[in-house]
Amino acid sequence: MYTANELLFPYYVIPSLKKLRGPQWRALVERVLSLPETHEETLAFMLMMIRLNGCMACETDSYRAMRGCAACALQTLRRYRGDDTELLEFYEQALEDVRNFARHSTDVTYNQNILEIL
């Protein structure tokens, strides 16, 4: 009846986003896919998508959640009116936020503190 809903933007959706935008976007997605799931650049990409999609406000019983994260991300990127340069700027900001969090966090366990950067 319901799809399997994620709490935050899932890594497994990233490959489906590769062909949605132009060459800069495609290069970013390919770069992220070449890295481990826990790499700071991968985490930054996921953070950027969390912010773009509005994942923090998504309710598990909402229409958007019932459609699933992949459908939501595809729709968000298709409807996004900015250019790829803007998306890359969002990514760079997310990367800076992830790096700042890692640099200033005294707790290596991200599970307790990850919401601070959202």
pLDDT digits (tens, 9 = 90+) for 4-38: 666 678 899 999 999 999 999 999 999 999 999 99
**What is the C-alpha to C-alpha distance for residues 62 and 30, in angstroms, rounded to an integer?**
31
Q: Whole-prediction pTM value?
A: 0.81
In a 13 Å sphere around the CA of 73, the CA atoms on its Cβ side amount to 25
**pLDDT above 60 (res 69):** yes
Torsion of CA 48, 53, 56, 57, to 10 degrees: 160
Better-predicted residue by pLDDT, 56 or 49: 49
Angle 17-49-71 (CA atoms, 0-180°, nearest 5)? 50
